[in-house]
Amino acid sequence: MAKVDIIQIAKELNISKSTVSRAFRDSSDINPKTKERILKLAKELNYQPNYYASNLKEQKSKTIAVVLPELANNYFTQIIQGAERVAKEQGYHILIFVTDDDITKEREFIRSLASGRVDGVIMSASGESTDHSYLESINYEHLPIVLFDRIYDDIELPKIVTDDYQSSFMATEHLIQSGCQRIAYFVINKDLSIGKTRLQGYEDALKKYKIPLRKRLIVDCSNSYEENNVIIETAIEKQKPDGILASVERLAFSTYYVCQRIGVKIPEDIKIIAFSSLEIAGLLQPGLSVVRQPAIQIGEKAASTLLKQLSGEELLDDEMFVTMQSDLVIRDSSKG
Amino acid sequence: MAKVDIIQIAKELNISKSTVSRAFRDSSDINPKTKERILKLAKELNYQPNYYASNLKEQKSKTIAVVLPELANNYFTQIIQGAERVAKEQGYHILIFVTDDDITKEREFIRSLASGRVDGVIMSASGESTDHSYLESINYEHLPIVLFDRIYDDIELPKIVTDDYQSSFMATEHLIQSGCQRIAYFVINKDLSIGKTRLQGYEDALKKYKIPLRKRLIVDCSNSYEENNVIIETAIEKQKPDGILASVERLAFSTYYVCQRIGVKIPEDIKIIAFSSLEIAGLLQPGLSVVRQPAIQIGEKAASTLLKQLSGEELLDDEMFVTMQSDLVIRDSSKG
DNA sequence: TTGTACGCGTTATCAC
DNA sequence: GTGATAACGCGTACAA
């Protein structure tokens, strides 16, 4: 079976292709009978309108791009879940782009998306807070973008974030109240907007309790699992922290493994709390205290904000910057 | 800035649009100088070739669809990871379709994809092993499909699976050797190919050890978290199993929670082992024994098999049905 | 109600 | 080396 197109159907029915075309569009007036004949034959022939021809004509793709730094992270896969759900409801589809934390790829992706391939983008940024000037040249009329989580502060785009500063402050405060004095902050890239904000919360909490800030306790980790094991083990042995705030979920997991291996007990020797949206954090040994970000809802919100723009509506002021509430869930890993 | 197209560039440079077009294609012969002028202006104007026009012309989209039953599952998000990596390497992109375990949606997706929107599909099936006749009408010349994990047995398509029967057998055997006599099998849909195969392994292992098969111990769970809690709690209290084989990761998690709540101890009272590709299964309390499926590799393999077809190569016989090895990882949850 | 003719933005095949 | 021109498949004024 060769691909069937509108013309073939037209020929077979001895009508013009415009009539056939009309049969598939709801509104147009067309004789119900001919319409039926057309639809019947179309079904028989297994006709599918050519996606690219339609889109070329319509200048719409009903597709949105989700640009993420990585996939090996619960948080981002939950984002996809949320975004996919909302998108599907409105007949949109999801195209995934993973930058591997590489701003160059991010730029290439966004550039190429300006080709009209997608109707809009939701993105969690990969770059440091600088070096995103490339976004200046994007025409947001043609390609609306919504940022979430890892945002670029100084770009005027709708943003969905969590109350990172507040959460970080509270988590640190909680560790202090559990008796910690040497609290380490584990982060992957402290120059990213998100690492920075959380760092600020951490620092301010220390300040409030008059605990000196020690630079050595701010531990810059890497994206490599193996490297992190070394970095974290070294940090624990050299800096002897009695509390850890992990700004990324998997740094907490690595810490668990390291502690298991070197015989450090959680929470007796070290208490730990992490930013994480893992549902089963409570099943860990010991149960992991977390700042639980509402990842799925963030994904939903980002998508629905984008879709609202795509539908032509103006965003209200309070939709331009949305803060979602995280929960502080205390479990055994940080008990005093 | 309005969208710039090839014609605009042509006008501005007083040349024809065909020349401009040539500047962007590698091979064509064109005066290096004009080419340079064109590229320079294109950059200035931020020109991006229209994706749909190109695709319409080329009949290629450099995009593959990933059709999945659900996203709320480590296994499938790892599949995406693997597929995305391979696809990206070859300049392909990933379009995500989630069927929510609904065969109707699956059918609609596949149908609509026949529009040429994607160059190929990798899919884990949602339907029961029957009722997939819709696939018969697909022209695989135009839309190659690779099945993985949850396959349709009787369709002639490339398939990537894990050694589910073998793994299930070994896992059950392990429970028996750990002293279990009343082993329950937790499954979500035992009519799906995958649930069936695993069930077979379970049954055969029981047979080998002359343990009677009790229908009540085969527990059909649901997709709802709340319902599962009830189902599982009831099963544990009524059927008093001393061992559990969970064919789906999250049934093990629910079991952990239920046991925690009703005071049943793992592994003293009940031993458990689950199909799961969760990296941190070892951090659970107690460490969860698993059949670890190489999810990322399966995703990679499915994608690379598809891409091979797309490149025009014939698949070898042994590429039409690939079995990937799962590992049996024994931890405390099933220790005797 | 239906058909004609053109445009969407590219690429490819010709001529020149 | 470059420029017309015809596809690709669909949707839609406009005319009939």
Q: What is the predicted pLDDT for the residue at B1?
A: 38
CB spacing of A98 vs B115 below 8 angstroms: no
Q: What is the predicted pLDDT for the residue at B28?
A: 66
Residue-averaged pLDDT of chain A? 93
Residue ranges in chain B modelled with pLDDT below 70: 1-2, 27-28, 129-130
Closest CA to B175 of B222, B216, B217: B217
Give the bases of strand D that a protein CB approaches within 7 Å.
Answer: 1-5, 7-13
Taking residues A206-224, report their average pLDDT.
96
Q: What is the predicted pLDDT for the residue at B27?
A: 64
- Nucleotide C15 C1' to residue B20 CA (A): 18
Phi, psi of B146 (to 5 degrees): -120, 130
Closest CA to B146 of B266, B64, B245: B64
CA distances (Å), origin A313, targets A94, A210, A326: 21, 49, 28
Measured in angstroms, the CA of B61 and the nearest CA of chain A are apart by 9
Burial group, residue B328, by CB count within 10 angstroms (0-12, 13-18, 19+):
middle
Q: What is the predicted pLDDT for the residue at A147?
A: 97
Which nucleotide is closest to A3, CA to C1'?
Answer: D9
The answer to whether some atom of strand C lies closer than 7 Å to the beta carbon of B25 is yes
The answer to whether some atom of strand C lies closer than 7 Å to the beta carbon of A38 is no
B247 vs A241: CA distance, rounded Å = 41
- Nucleotide C7 C1' to residue B46 CA (A): 24
Among A93, A256, A280, the residue with its CB nearest the CB of B95 is: A93
CA distances (Å), origin B21, targets B6, B13, B47, B59: 7, 13, 12, 17
The answer to whether some atom of strand C lies closer than 7 Å to the beta carbon of B179 is no
Comparing alpha-carbon positions, the chain B residue that sits nearest to A73 is B77
Contacts of A139 in chain B (CB under 8 A): 1
Taking residues A220-240, report their average pLDDT.
95
Q: A276 by DSSP, 3-state: which? A: coil
Among A52, A97, A284, the residue with its CB nearest the CB of B52 is: A52
pLDDT-derived band at A79 (thresholds 50, 70, 90) equals: very high
The answer to whether some atom of strand C lies closer than 7 Å to the beta carbon of A25 is no
Among B50, B81, B284, the residue with its CB nearest the CB of A283 is: B284
More confident residue, A1 or B151: B151
Comparing alpha-carbon positions, the chain B residue that sits nearest to A225 is B279
Among A48, A84, A114, the residue with its CB nearest the CB of B114 is: A48
Instruction: Give the residue ranges with Cβ < 7 A from strand D.
Output: A 3, 5-7, 17-18, 21-22, 24-25, 28, 49-50, 53-54, 56-58; B 14-19, 22, 28-31, 33-35, 53, 56-57, 59
Taking residues A50-57, report their average pLDDT.
94
Number of neighbours of residue B261 by Cβ within 10 angstroms: 10
- Nucleotide D1 C1' to residue B14 CA (A): 15
E runs forming strands in B137-292: 145-148, 159-162, 183-187, 218-220, 243-246, 271-275, 289-292
- Nucleotide D7 C1' to residue B57 CA (A): 8
Taking residues A74-81, report their average pLDDT.
96
Q: What is the predicted pLDDT for the residue at B17?
A: 93
> Is beta strand B327-329 parallel, antiparallel or unpaired with respect to B289-292?
antiparallel
Residue nearest to nucleotide C13 (CA to C1'): B18
Among B115, B282, B284, the residue with its CB nearest the CB of A49 is: B115
Q: What is the predicted pLDDT for the residue at B8?
A: 92
A259 vs A265: CA distance, rounded Å = 7
The answer to whether some atom of strand C lies closer than 7 Å to the beta carbon of B7 is yes
Measured in angstroms, the CA of A278 and the nearest CA of chain B are apart by 11
Comparing alpha-carbon positions, the chain B residue that sits nearest to A260 is B283
Contacts of B277 in chain A (CB under 8 A): none
Give the bases of strand C that a protein CB approaches within 7 Å.
Answer: 1-5, 7-13
A28: pLDDT strictly greater than 80: no
Helices (H), chain A: 6-13, 17-24, 32-45, 51-58, 74-89, 103-113, 164-177, 193-208, 225-239, 249-262, 295-310, 317-320
pLDDT digits (tens, 9 = 90+) for A265-274: 999 999 999 9
Question: Cα-atom radius of gyration of chain B, to the nearest Å?
Answer: 26
A129: pLDDT strictly greater than 80: no
Angle at CA B53, nearest 5°, toward A62 and B20? 140
Number of neighbours of residue B273 by Cβ within 10 angstroms: 31
CB spacing of B285 vs A284 below 8 angstroms: yes
Measured in angstroms, the CA of B212 and the nearest CA of chain A are apart by 33
The answer to whether some atom of strand C lies closer than 7 Å to the beta carbon of A48 is no
Closest CA to A246 of A232, A259, A266, A264: A232
Which nucleotide is closest to A19, CA to C1'?
Answer: C2
Q: What is the predicted pLDDT for the residue at B189?
A: 81
Sequence-ordered list of residues with C-beta below 8 angstroms from that of B219, at least 6 positions apart, any chain: B184, B185, B186, B187, B231, B232, B235, B239
Measured in angstroms, the CA of A215 and the nearest CA of chain B are apart by 30
> Is beta strand B93-98 parallel, antiparallel or unpaired with respect to A93-98?
antiparallel
Q: What is the predicted pLDDT for the residue at A25?
A: 86
